[in-house]
Amino acid sequence: NAGVTQTPKFQVLKTGQSMTLQCAQDMNHEYMSWYRQDPGMGLRLIHYSVGAGITDQGEVPNGYNVSRSTTEDFPLRLLSAAPSQTSVYFCASSHGGLGELFFGEGSRLTVL
Amino acid sequence: SQQGEEDPQALSIQEGENATMNCSYKTSINNLQWYRQNSGRGLVHLILIRSNEREKHSGRLRVTLDTSKKSSSLLITASRAADTASYFCATDNNAGNMLTFGGGTRLMVKP
């Protein structure tokens, strides 16, 4: 099993551009989530999904959209990138209820 | 705002010593988890302790939970240079659908 796979690993955007961070898991996990990690801030939850077709907002959802059309995939869309969205983004998944989270290796995004 | 807060923010010890990290949280929880993050990598789950448990062990790790004080501690015994990493506590909300992380403790173990 590959676990949780995130692409791309690195991305540079200009202010106002849009892009999608991809996340896929092959563990048949119902729960998936997106976090951002900023220096000294720990991880903050952006959006999460408890199953295909169901998404909900986390702590810092503004500027981001998600969808969950399949169990495996949970893409994160930046609609109009801003420098404040420069961060490292992590996708994570969990089986059943909110137990152990399995994390991807992260996507480092820089917005100029 | 963050639910969990780790203390200390940074810790430097010699190999073979024990390392203790503390976590405080604000609201009631179903469970508390500890994660480890090596530099530039994703987080790795270490241990989960439920609200009705007081202590849990896994290898060289010992976690305690005091729900009356809303606090937890992670003890790493006989530390090794390979334990150098950041350690995070995470707590769930009452609905059990959101996991909130603290700011982490950066542990450096010197050989």
- Cβ contacts of B48 within 8 Å, gap of 6 or more: A99, A100, B31, B32, B33, B56
For A3, the 3-state DSSP assignment is coil
For A112, the 3-state DSSP assignment is coil
Residue range B8-58, pLDDT digits in tens: 999 999 999 999 999 999 989 999 999 999 999 999 999 999 999 999 999
- Rg of chain B's alpha carbons, rounded to an integer? 13
Contacts of A44 in chain B (CB under 8 A): 2, 101
Contacts of A54 in chain B (CB under 8 A): none
For B66, the 3-state DSSP assignment is strand
What is the chain B residue with the closest CA to A31? B97
Per-residue pLDDT in tens (0 to 9) along chain A, 112 residues: 789 999 999 999 999 999 999 999 999 999 999 999 998 778 999 999 999 999 999 999 999 999 999 999 999 999 999 999 999 999 999 997 778 999 999 999 999 9
For A85, the 3-state DSSP assignment is helix
